[in-house]
Amino acid sequence: MSGQTNRITISTKTPEFPTAPSLYGLFFEDINHAADGGLYPEMIRNRAFEDSLVPEECTTDPEEKIIINPYGWPGAFNKGEGMDEWAAAVPPTDIPAWYSYRARMTLLTDPAACLNPNRKAALEVCFEEGGSISNIGYCGMAVKPGEAYDFMMFAASGVPAVITAQLMSGGSVLGSAVIALAAGEDYAQYSAVIQVPEGMDTGDSSLSPCLVLTADRACTVTFGFTSLLPERTYKGHGLREDLAEALKNTHSKFIRFPGGCVVEGISERNAWRFSRSIGPVWERPSGWLMWHYRATNGLGFHEYLQLCEDLEMDAMFVCNCGMSCQARRGGGFSEEITDEYLEEALNALSYALDPADTEYGAKRAAAGHPEPFGLKYVEIGNENHGPEYNARYEKFYHALKERYPQVTYISNGHTEEAGLPTEMVDEHYYSSPEFFFEHVNHFEDYDRKGPEIFLGEYAVNGGNTIASMECALAEAAFLTGVERCQDVVKLTAYAPLFQNADYTAWKPNLIVFDSREVYGIPTYHAVSLFGKYRGDEVYGIKVDGETKPPVYHGVPGILCGKDGLKFRNAKLNGVPVEVTREVYGEVCEAEDGAFMMVTGSHRHVFTGKSDAWNSAFGRFIENSPFRGEKTLWAVFGENSEPADLTEYTFEIDVLRDEDNPLTLNIWNFRPDTDAGCNEPKDTEWTAMSVRRQSWRIDGCTSAVRVPGWHDKPLTPDETVQADIDFTRYNTYKIAANREGFDCYINGEFVQSCRLPLLPEVTASATGNGEEILVKLVHAGEEASMAVIAPDCAVEDDAVREIIAAPLDAVNSFADKTNVSAKEEKLHLSRNAEGEVIVDLPAHSIQVLRLKKA
């Protein structure tokens, strides 16, 4: 038990403001195979045979290991299997997920052979008598005893034939259906129900059960489209029951969809479009997602809206705003294409909101929903920014607002600063646990007269472990700060939502599933707990609690600059050190024993990536329009003894132009986890490595801060004007200690960074006429106590729900609720003043429900 007392004072008599009714929500993106083979429970992978087609506007290497988008950005392809790991895990085949036995498969791509103009491939199979083709699904098909499965296909056969569709596991037939094909050149649609008997042992391996289609005689059959879906779905609307229930159990109030980066796409033609996501599934064009697989859009606009309605959550649609993914070096589309996307957005809103006697309302009615859907929010673009974004945001905002004024529109950034009408701003934070603890008061000084804030994506995705209790604690601490500021922060959503454990392109994710099972990571249980207990009003709260100094450690120095920056005489604790790694760009020798940073050919190799990917990325850097503008990184002193330091001095002489800003990062670390998106996941150093404090000198302006997204602009008292002669080498020195670091130029002290103490106890309080709901996060590693002092009397009996676990505790398929909330009844202890005393178990998140007396 720690010695210090935590004191929490709560003012219930004059509530500060009402709670934001929709504070907790969800963010769905088709990432990690979250849709096909996930929430949209299609069991046949590559059901339209289009997975191996090279995405439009992209090129490949000769072996088709990677695709390269029009901006030069490479992504894993592997002939349509996607990520290298997945490709290695399945038996080789030219037509992903499909295999043949005494049958020859040929992929047809002639438009005349395809089912309809939106289909780009068909599968021709020459069966011998008794020959078959099979599909292994998304790492095995989840076949359950007693359940029925709807098989559907479009096929054309030269002769009458009988196809038997069987679900098989290890040689055993689990269920089957017989389909008689008529002879004819044209496609015909066939459907059959495969019933699996009660009590059947359905087997369980990564490649089975699978679907087998066997022909009774030698024949040639062309398949135009196939599908196998469970009959039993959430509220009968086609989505996977256990995953939808997992969403329901979060107590969320809204769902943001369909992305994320998929909204931006990898090219002009590839970005997410409403028009491709409605109508019969076999007529919906498929699209290659930047998360390394093709999606067939079975989970389309209608299905998203229906899901929201079924879950009783508000819908938030993110539309493409005429821009591609800027993080992958895409940019604004032409005016003509931008207008196409605006038209798409207008039509989507019409589909959702207009009466059934309008063009798009009629399409909705034809799909089974005559009444308008409740589309409440529309976000214009995802993670787009800069002048190109502002121009498009303005255009979209006015066009959409004029037609649908009832909708709340969300901007990707603080467009109000550019004088644009801005109702709500979406901010994203992915960072370390320390970042979230440090920023618990982040929203306190936001302008209450400015736009409302949507914390649209956040997650601890760096640190010692991911998807662990440590992450949940840091996020929950941050959320207590959000709860205290819900007069400005109106909506939040953890990101991303779903991870198919067999197809992971991004980690961590709130909910993990495979074909059969599902569990929530610790954060899932924390946000569900917070979402469950909302209250009507926010009470003033004061927390005098334990704090802890952060102890940062890591590799001494990373130097960041742009092309042409020269340096020499790097020293760690006075001893010369060398560049041990070039992360972005190259370091080459300059005159006088000095070195120069150049964009170069990006010598750094991303380990775990194919050679094709590495050389494509090198070419991308070489030819990038950002060449010369990109910040280059060099790491020093990784080989010094010890390399992992807390207290040290690092100094270096640098010659740079005034417009070449210099950044020195300290306490850098290589994350042990494979968090984040897989693009640079396997590299030994990523952006995650430099999330520690940094010193940046832009021109002569010096500033120290923690790098982060949506950094608030530097205030004048955070910056110092330094005396720098740009015609010569200047010596920049950082002296780091446990409290922070001091910065010197040419021996003159410039400024210091004092590390903020991290709060061990954070809290918020809401309530109503009957209850006070105290959310309490205790990050300390020892159990502690808190005195809770509300300004009104409370009863002796209370209830709490609490999550307590070691920092590295995680959930898994084997132990799904290892970290989860438990309800406890409390008989409250009191101190001499009659104030309530509650225990704070080590590493705990709780909601304490006090009954007003």
- When asked if residue 75 is in the footprint of ligand AHR (CB under 6 A), the reply is no
CB of 126 to ligand AHR, least distance (A): 42
Q: Which is nearer to ligand AHR, 141 or 497 (CB)?
A: 497
Q: Applying CB under 6 A, which of residues 44, 194, 229, 261 lies at the interface with ligand AHR?
A: 261
Q: Residue 612 corresponds to which tokens in the numbers above?
A: 């094709």
Could you give the strand order of the β-sheet that contains 5-11, starting from the edge strand earlier in sequence? 540-544, 5-11, 784-790, 836-840, 829-830
Interface residue with ligand AHR, options 495, 597, 734, 850 (CB under 6 A): 495
Nearest distance from C-beta of residue 423 to ligand AHR, angstroms:
20
Site string for ligand AHR, 637-676 (x = CB under 6 A): ----------------------------------------
Q: How far is the CB of 457 from ligand AHR (least distance, A)?
A: 5
* 313/535 Cα distance (integer angstroms): 18
Distance in Å, CB of 649 to ligand AHR, minimum: 36
Note the residue count of the chain: 853
Closest distance between ligand AHR and the C-beta of residue 304, in Å?
A: 16
Note whether 259 binds ligand AHR by CB under 6 A.
yes
Among 78, 250, 286, 382, binds ligand AHR (CB under 6 A): 382
Instruction: Quote the DSSP letter at residue 266.
Output: S
Residue 732: strand pairing partners: 652, 745
* Residue 245: other Cβ atoms inside 10 A: 12
The verdict on 475 binding ligand AHR (CB under 6 A) reads: no
Among residue numbers 497 through 516, which ones bind ligand AHR (CB under 6 A)?
Answer: 506
Shortest Cβ 262–ligand AHR spacing (Å): 7
CA distance 490 to 411: 14
For the CB of residue 20, give the shortest distance to ligand AHR in the complex, in Å: 22
Residue 36, strand partner residues: 40
- Please, which residues have CB within 8 angstroms of residue 204's CB and are 6 or more apart in sequence? 140, 169, 516
CA neighbours closer than 13 Å in the CB half-sphere of residue 257? 28
Q: Which of 260, 332, 554, 671 binds ligand AHR (CB under 6 A)?
A: 260
Residue nearer to ligand AHR on the CB measure, 318 or 753 = 318
Q: Of 379 and 771, which has the nearer Cβ to ligand AHR? A: 379
The residue range among 105-113, 259-267, 440-448, 694-702 that interacts with ligand AHR, by the rule CB under 6 A, is: 259-267
Nearer to ligand AHR, 239 or 261 (CB): 261
Which of 29, 563 has the CB closer to ligand AHR?
Answer: 29
Nearest position to ligand AHR, beta carbon: 260
Nearer to ligand AHR, 259 or 557 (CB): 259
CA distances from 165 to 128, 176, 667 (A): 16, 5, 59
Which string of x and - marks every residue 303-332 that binds ligand AHR (by CB under 6 A)? ------------------------------
Do the bridges between strand 511-513 and strand 498-500 make them parallel or antiparallel, or are there none, so unpaired? parallel
Interface mask toward ligand AHR for 178-217; x: CB under 6 A = ----------------------------------------
Nearer residue to ligand AHR within complex by CB, 379 or 452 = 379
Residues 315, 376 contacting (CB under 8 angstroms): yes
Which residues, 428 to 457, sit near ligand AHR by CB under 6 A?
457
Return the number of the residue (79 or 691) whose C-beta is nearest ligand AHR: 691
Query: Do 475 and 437 touch, CB atoms closer than 8 A?
Result: no
29 or 434: CB nearest ligand AHR: 29
Contacts for 513 with CB less than 8 Å, ≥ 6 apart: 38, 242, 243, 498, 499, 500, 501, 519
Q: How many residues bind ligand AHR (CB under 6 A)?
A: 11
> Cα-flanking dihedrals φ and ψ of residue 799, to 5°?
-130, 145
Closest CB 513 distance from ligand AHR, rounded Å: 17
Min separation Cβ 36 and ligand AHR, Å? 17
Q: What is the DSSP letter of 622?
A: H
Residue 499 CB, nearest approach to ligand AHR (Å): 11
Q: How many CA atoms lie within 13 A of 543 on its CB side?
A: 24
Number of other CB atoms surrounding residue 39 within 10 Å: 27
Q: According to CB under 6 A, which one of 131, 496, 520, 780 is a site residue for ligand AHR?
A: 496
Residues 6+ apart with CB under 8 A from 96: 45, 46, 51, 52, 79, 80, 81, 90
From the CB of 325, what's the least distance to ligand AHR, in Å? 8
Contact 767, 535 (CB under 8 A): yes
Minimum gap (Å) between residue 31 Cβ and ligand AHR: 6
Q: Tell the smallest beta-carbon distance from residue 388 to ligand AHR (Å).
A: 17
Closest CB to ligand AHR among residues 678, 762: 678
Q: Shortest approach of ligand AHR to residue 26 CB, angstroms?
A: 12
Site string for ligand AHR, 778-817 (x = CB under 6 A): ----------------------------------------
Question: Closer to ligand AHR at the Cβ: 153 or 479?
Answer: 479
Q: Phi and psi for 306 in degrees, rounded to 5?
A: -65, -40
Residue with Cβ nearer ligand AHR (510 or 724): 510
Of 427 and 586, the one with the shorter C-beta distance to ligand AHR is 427
Cα(529)–Cα(24) distance, rounded to whole angstroms? Answer: 10
Spell out the residues 6+ positions from residue 457 whose beta carbon is closer than 8 angstroms to its own: 27, 426, 428, 429, 430, 493, 494, 495, 496
Q: Three-state SS for 456?
A: strand
List, in order, residues 6 or more apart from 588 with CB less than 8 Å away. Answer: 595, 596, 598, 600
In the complex with ligand AHR, which residue's Cβ is closer, 383 or 586? 383
| Residue that has been written with the tokens 């209790």 in this structure | 469
Options 379, 383, 563, 638; binder of ligand AHR; rule CB under 6 A: 383
HEC string for 340-364? HHHHHHHHHHHHHHCCCCCHHHHHH
Question: CB of 387 within 8 A of CB of 395?
Answer: no
Give the pairing of strands 575-576 and 579-584: unpaired
Q: Is 29 in the site for ligand AHR (CB under 6 A)?
A: yes
Burial string for 469-493 (b: 16+ CB within 10 Å, else e) reads bbbbbbbbbbbbbbbbbbbbbbbbb
Which of helix, strand or coil describes residue 337?
helix
Q: Kindly state the smallest distance separating residue 412's Cβ from ligand AHR, in Å.
A: 10
User: Quick one: tokens of 340?
Assistant: 């196409």
To ligand AHR, the closest distance from the beta carbon of 677 in angstroms equals 7
Is 839 in contact with 795 (CB distance < 8 Å)? no
Residue 503 CA neighbour count, 13 Å, CB half: 28
Judged by CB under 6 A, which stretch of 124-132, 258-266, 485-493, 710-718 contacts ligand AHR?
A: 258-266
Type of residue at 718: E
- Minimal distance, residue 422 CB to ligand AHR, in Å: 19
Q: Which is nearer to ligand AHR, 427 or 546 (CB)?
A: 427
Q: Of the ranges 77-85, 180-188, 257-265, 371-379, which one interacts with ligand AHR (CB under 6 A)?
A: 257-265
What is the rounded distance in angstroms from the CA atom of residue 102 to the CA atom of residue 198?
32
For residue 109, the minimal CB distance to ligand AHR (Å) is 30
Measuring CA to CA, how many Å separate 6 from each of 251, 479, 544? 30, 19, 6
458, β-bridge pairs = 429
Q: Is the peptide bond before 258 cis (omega within 30 degrees of 0)?
A: yes
Does 596 participate in binding ligand AHR (rule CB under 6 A)? no
Binding residues (CB under 6 A) for ligand AHR: these are: 29, 31, 259-261, 382-383, 457, 495-496, 506
